[in-house]
Amino acid sequence: MASASPRRRELLSKLGIELLVYEPDIDESFPPGRDDYDVLCMELARRKIEAVLGRPELGDCRWFLAADTTVLVKNRVLGKPENPGEALEFLNILAGAVHTVVTGVALYDRRINKYYPDFEEARVRIAKMTKREKEWYIETGEWQGVAGGYRIQEKGALFIESIRGTYTNVMGLPMRTVYGIMRLANYPIGIKSSGNGRHRAPGK
């Protein structure tokens, strides 16, 4: 798995999948002038895989998986905040508003040199927050290393009013979508594919 996210690792481990986890060293920023974030997230997922493929210790590995998540609100992309001040700025934007979470995923089968990309979106409403609630949340440190600066599976859940979409997508790895591309790729997870797995190619 080309990711340093413990949340993604936790979700996959619940399926009984044994993982080798490597953090890809790539620029995760979006190029200016593009707003096709579904395609961009899938492209970044693929680039993460490409960044670890050459590692000699992974020479015998057949399957590679990566994901990229972004948060969109009020025509702005909220990546991973770099400091508490930026995390507070993100909270000020998110609180009392609806935002979109887009996650692109990619599964790569090295044996046949084929990528299986897909994406998922969710709409999340965060409740209005008092100044003290925002300060408290920043103090928890949960904002670090996560798009949008909040973790829905931890203390951030206290402020989530509604989700339209899947919970695991907001966590950073949409498991239904991952399952779909695994079935399409005939990944051996114990459930045979009928060949009808959902799949969208980039740009389609």
Q: Which alpha helices (H) appear in the chain, and where do they start and end?
A: 6-13, 37-53, 84-94, 131-140, 167-171, 175-184
pLDDT tens digit string along 57-112? 888 899 999 999 999 998 799 989 999 999 999 999 999 999 999 999 999 999 99
Is it the case that residue 196 has pLDDT exceeding 50? Answer: no
Determine the CATH number of domain 6-184: 3.90.950.10
Q: How many CA atoms lie within 13 A of 102 on its CB side?
A: 22
Strand partners, 121: 102
How far is residue 140 CA from its own chain's centroid? 22
Q: Which residues are catalytic?
A: 68
Residue written as token pair 């590995």: 61
Domain layout of the chain by residue ranges: 6-184
C-alpha distances out from residue 140 to 79, 90, 170, Å: 19, 15, 19
